[in-house]
């Protein structure tokens, strides 16, 4: 215990940023993950963050690759946020509409997006003098420990707002996921809801991937939402619970990574899985008790 | 398209035609749906009944013709096929609540969302607890939930595409009586797609044989 406290004290300078920033991202990702599951595009939770990572790699290695290929001009500017956003937007436009229109084609589009993004990221990073370090930091979660003051301001403002938008959208997204024809016949704003959903997902990934990395985001999008469905029923409640489970799971995982000196990503993914499993078991137990009653 | 319909007409179609797979399903079809009236759409499988209903509701485009709807028309729909993705975890009450109007004032006018949902489920004879997930209900129970969703918002137009498919004979009679009551008591306009449901064609103000003689 004393060793753990010692490590916690050593990490204290870094921990507040990592804990607050990570919990904010987890909160938003949990909510958006619930909407992703209802739209049956949960696999986009892996493919789109991978594209965001490719965008980061492009920003870091694009310039060197440009010159290595002998192309004219100055090549792409090294702006991680900008390229992560462009790559994310392209992936969302490819994967989400195809997935909704034709399920199997959506899976193929997601697989294609994942393979191309991952390959591109590896090739670009290989050409970059410092890209391998940056991308490795994102993969292991180390980047989260070095969030800048500006990053913190952005995450603290944007992520709760994204979570709130997701909770407010939950009922509409659930309706059109369940029965799109009914939503249209009833005069609901189906197209604007779908656009808002795609924009919400893209904003979360574009802001999250360059700061917390794809493995954390993927786990926070998929695990808490699956667990929340075991304890909540109504769409708005389920989305909100998924956000809370994600934030809690992140906190548990971050604490575990300090306690056992795990890579941050490993700790966070393990924390999300453990918390998700505990919540799901709690839900099953509650239902069993209610059934007996 | 909301022009030039008579006061009691909620939806008016003129010269409608639909084609599928290179064949004409129907053409030159005129139809008025009036408040307090029931129109039955009949015909064999593949005649285009559901296609016609989708065109009337603006869910599909006609090959020819036009549809005019009363301004602010509210619609309650029971689709032909079960719309549910079986994995979606929503309870029956949440599915019914999809039929409520979005504005809080309109919900209050119905006596509040929760009580309106309970009342609609009671009206259609839904016996399981409202918290039971839609995905685990039987086919007949699902049809009742979808009918409750169509009724809960007290819409001006009820569009029912084989709403009694999978419902037992007693349940079918209850549904017919319920819809008649909606027409008589509340003045709803009803368009009902059916094959041969006893009581529907008899009480219809107009029977449209789709793919045949109108």
pLDDT tens digits for range A234-291: 999 999 999 999 999 999 998 888 888 888 888 888 999 999 999 999 888 887 777 6
Measured in whole angstroms, the distance separating CA B53 from the mean position of its chain's CA atoms is: 9
Query: Is A293 within a domain?
Result: no
* A182·B85 Cβ contact <8 A: no
* B85·A40 Cβ contact <8 A: yes
Tell me the CATH number at A121: 1.10.3470.10
A21 with A155: CB under 8 angstroms?
A: yes
pLDDT tens digits for range A215-230: 888 999 999 999 999 8
- For A7-30, what is the mean pLDDT? 79
Q: What is the mean pLDDT of each run of 10 residues along chain B (214 residues)?
A: 65 91 88 92 87 93 92 91 74 94 87 92 92 89 93 93 82 86 90 77 82 52
Domain count, chain A: 1
Query: Is A288 within a domain?
Result: no
Which domains, and CATH codes, for chain B?
Answer: 1-73+158-214 (3.40.50.300), 84-155 (no CATH)
* Alpha-helical segments (H) within B67-191: 92-97, 104-109, 113-123, 139-152, 169-186
Question: B67 at the A interface (CB within 8 A)?
Answer: no
* A234·B91 Cβ contact <8 A: yes
B29 with B13: CB under 8 angstroms?
A: yes
pLDDT value, residue A292: 57
- For A64-85, what is the mean pLDDT? 81
Query: Is A292 within a domain?
Result: no
* Minimum-distance CB partner of B89 among A182, A185, A233: A233
Give residue A8's pLDDT band: very low, low, confident or very high (50, 70, 90). Answer: low
Q: Which structural domain range is residue A188 located in?
A: 2-281
What predicted TM-score, i.e. pTM, was given to this entire model? Answer: 0.84
Q: Is the pLDDT of residue A109 over 50?
A: yes
Q: How many CB pairs under 8 A join A and B?
A: 65
* A187·B89 Cβ contact <8 A: no
Query: Is A289 within a domain?
Result: no
Query: Is A199 within a domain?
Result: yes
* B77·A181 Cβ contact <8 A: yes
pLDDT tens digits for range A139-192: 777 777 778 888 888 999 999 999 999 999 999 999 988 998 999 999 899 999
Query: Is A131 within a domain?
Result: yes
* Minimum-distance CB partner of B88 among A38, A180, A185: A38
pLDDT value, residue A1: 53
pLDDT value, residue B153: 92
Torsion sign over Cα B115, B177, B127, B160: negative
ipTM: 0.88
Q: Is the pLDDT of residue A74 over 80?
A: no
Query: Is A223 within a domain?
Result: yes
Q: Which of A8-17, A131-140, B85-94 has the lowest mean pLDDT?
A: A8-17
B65 with A177: CB under 8 angstroms?
A: no
């Amino acid at each position: 215990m004393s060793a753990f406290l010692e490590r916690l004290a050593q990490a204290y300078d870094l921990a507040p940023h990592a804990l607050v920033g990570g919990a904010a991202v987890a909160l938003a990702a949990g909510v958006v993950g619930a909407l992703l599951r209802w739209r049956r595009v949960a696999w986009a939770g892996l493919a789109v963050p991978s594209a965001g990572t490719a965008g980061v790699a492009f920003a870091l290695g694009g310039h060197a690759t440009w010159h290595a290929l002998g192309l004219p001009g100055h090549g792409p500017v090294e702006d991680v946020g900008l390229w992560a956003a462009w790559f994310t937007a392209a992936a969302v436009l490819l994967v989400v509409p195809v997935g909704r229109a034709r399920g199997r084609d959506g899976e193929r589009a997601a697989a294609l997006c994942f393979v191309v993004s991952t390959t591109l990221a590896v090739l670009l990073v290989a050409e970059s003098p410092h890209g391998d370090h940056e991308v490795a930091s994102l993969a292991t979660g180390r980047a989260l420990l070095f969030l800048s003051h500006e990053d913190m301001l952005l995450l603290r403002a944007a992520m709760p707002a994204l979570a709130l938008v997701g909770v407010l959208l939950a009922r509409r997204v659930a309706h059109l996921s369940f029965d799109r024809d009914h939503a249209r016949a009833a005069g609901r704003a189906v197209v604007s809801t779908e656009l808002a959903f795609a924009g919400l997902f893209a904003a979360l990934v574009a802001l999250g991937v360059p700061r917390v990395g794809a493995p954390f985001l993927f786990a926070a999008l998929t695990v808490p939402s699956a667990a929340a469905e075991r304890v909540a029923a109504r769409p708005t409640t389920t989305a909100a619970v998924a956000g809370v489970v994600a934030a809690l799971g992140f906190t548990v995982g971050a604490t575990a990574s300090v306690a056992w000196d795990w890579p941050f990503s490993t700790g966070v993914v393990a924390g999300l899985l453990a918390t998700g499993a505990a919540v799901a078991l709690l839900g099953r137990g509650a239902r069993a008790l209610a059934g007996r009653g | 398209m909301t022009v030039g319909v008579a006061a009691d007409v909620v939806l008016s179609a003129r010269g409608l035609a639909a084609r599928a797979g290179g064949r004409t399903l129907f053409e030159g079809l005129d139809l008025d749906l009036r408040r307090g009236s029931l129109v039955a759409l009949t015909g064999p499988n593949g005649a285009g009944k559901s296609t016609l209903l989708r065109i009337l509701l603006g869910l599909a485009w006609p090959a020819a013709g036009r549809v005019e709807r009363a301004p602010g028309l509210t619609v309650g729909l029971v689709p032909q096929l079960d719309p549910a993705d079986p994995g979606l975890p929503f309870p029956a009450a949440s599915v019914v609540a999809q039929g409520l109007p979005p504005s809080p004032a309109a919900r209050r006018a119905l006596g509040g969302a929760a009580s309106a949902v309970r009342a609609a489920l009671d009206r259609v004879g839904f016996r399981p607890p409202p918290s039971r997930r839609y995905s685990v209900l039987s086919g007949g129970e699902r049809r009742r939930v979808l009918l409750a969703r169509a009724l809960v918002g007290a819409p001006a137009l009820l569009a029912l595409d084989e709403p009694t498919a999978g419902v037992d004979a007693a349940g079918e009679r209850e549904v017919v009586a319920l819809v008649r009551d909606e027409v008589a008591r509340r003045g709803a306009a009803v368009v009902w797609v059916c094959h041969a449901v006893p009581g529907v064609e008899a009480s219809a103000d107009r029977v449209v044989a789709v793919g045949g003689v109108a």
